[in-house]
């Protein structure tokens, strides 16, 4: 099934060029030229991804992103003409998944769109994650290492699941606690270390020299990229 993309861009020419390119790349594209139009389309058409320009008439892209994020977890890529860091940071804070600075190459945009869609789908639909010898069955909440089942506590499972969904991405201890929310209140940041240590004992061939869950000194943890 083709992914449906809502493209929000008030520069008519640019919108047409981008829409044509995305269509040629195999996407269904809807165009909106103002923030209000974007929200109306978004609610009615339920796109798989939104490409959102920041500078729009009536309501700017940041406001639109904020409203979309309140209503859904649909991925958003912000387009920004400004090079200012503050705009990008603001966009990401409003819940955008990625941003791209104008002028951008269409190939680059398509690559970002595919990456963001893959990520979004992975989080929702992948029933099994595999990293090296580790297999995580997200539906059964079962973990095996080299085919052998390992028993994890709910917290250990959540931490491993979080890291495995984002190989290579570094998480701070605080982030780890926030992301595994339901357990966050029971502990302080350092208790993450205890969970990680226990997790390593269960999944690492040599827990003293971890191969899967790596410590990023002074920051937190990440799952090794293959």
Residues at the interface with Ca ion (CB under 5 A): 10, 53, 55
Nearest distance in Å: CB 101, Ca ion: 13
Nearer to Ca ion, 15 or 177 (CB): 15
Nearest distance in Å: CB 49, Ca ion: 19
Q: Which residue is listed with tokens 């099994």? A: 128
Nearer to Ca ion, 55 or 138 (CB): 55
Burial class (CB in 10 A: 0-12, 13-18, 19+), 115: middle
Integer Cα distance of 226 and 220 in angstroms: 19
Q: How many CB atoms lie within 10 A of CB 98?
A: 17
Nearer to Ca ion, 10 or 175 (CB): 10
User: Which DSSP category does 183 fall into?
Assistant: G
Cβ(18)–Cβ(51) below 8 Å: yes
Residue 29 forms beta bridges with which residues? 5
Q: Give the residue at shortest CB distance from Ca ion.
A: 55
Nearest distance in Å: CB 43, Ca ion: 22
Nearer to Ca ion, 13 or 140 (CB): 13
Nearest distance in Å: CB 13, Ca ion: 11
Terminal alpha carbon distance of the chain: 30
Nearer to Ca ion, 12 or 24 (CB): 12
Nearest distance in Å: CB 12, Ca ion: 10
Nearer to Ca ion, 60 or 198 (CB): 60
Integer Cα distance of 4 and 104 in angstroms: 21
Parallel/antiparallel/unpaired status of strands 4-8 and 49-53: parallel
Q: Which helix (H) or strand (E) segment is 156 a member of?
A: helix 154-165
Nearest distance in Å: CB 64, Ca ion: 12
* Phi/psi of residue 148, nearest 5 degrees: -95, 130
């Amino acid at each position: 099934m083709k992914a449906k993309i809502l493209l929000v861009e008030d520069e008519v020419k640019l919108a047409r060029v981008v829409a044509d390119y995305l269509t040629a790349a195999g996407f269904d594209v809807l165009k909106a030229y103002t923030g209000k139009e974007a929200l109306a389309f978004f609610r009615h058409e339920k796109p798989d991804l939104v490409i959102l320009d920041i500078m729009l008439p009536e309501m700017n892209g940041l406001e639109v992103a904020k409203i979309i994020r309140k209503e859904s977890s649909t991925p958003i890529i912000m387009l920004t003409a400004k090079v200012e860091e503050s705009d990008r940071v603001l966009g990401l804070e409003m819940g955008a998944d990625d941003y791209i600075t104008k002028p951008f190459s269409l190939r680059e945009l398509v690559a970002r769109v595919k990456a963001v869609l893959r990520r979004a789908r992975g989080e929702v639909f992948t029933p099994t994650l595999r990293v090296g010898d580790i297999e995580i069955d997200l539906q059964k909440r079962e973990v095996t290492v080299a085919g052998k089942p390992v028993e994890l506590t709910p917290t250990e499972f959540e931490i491993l699941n979080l890291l495995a969904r984002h190989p290579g991405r570094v998480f701070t201890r605080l982030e780890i606690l926030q992301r595994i929310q339901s357990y966050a209140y029971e502990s302080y940041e350092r208790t993450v270390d205890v969970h990680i240590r226990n997790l390593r004992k269960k999944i690492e061939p040599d827990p003293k020299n971890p191969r899967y869950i790596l410590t990023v000194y002074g920051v937190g943890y990440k799952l090794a990229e293959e």
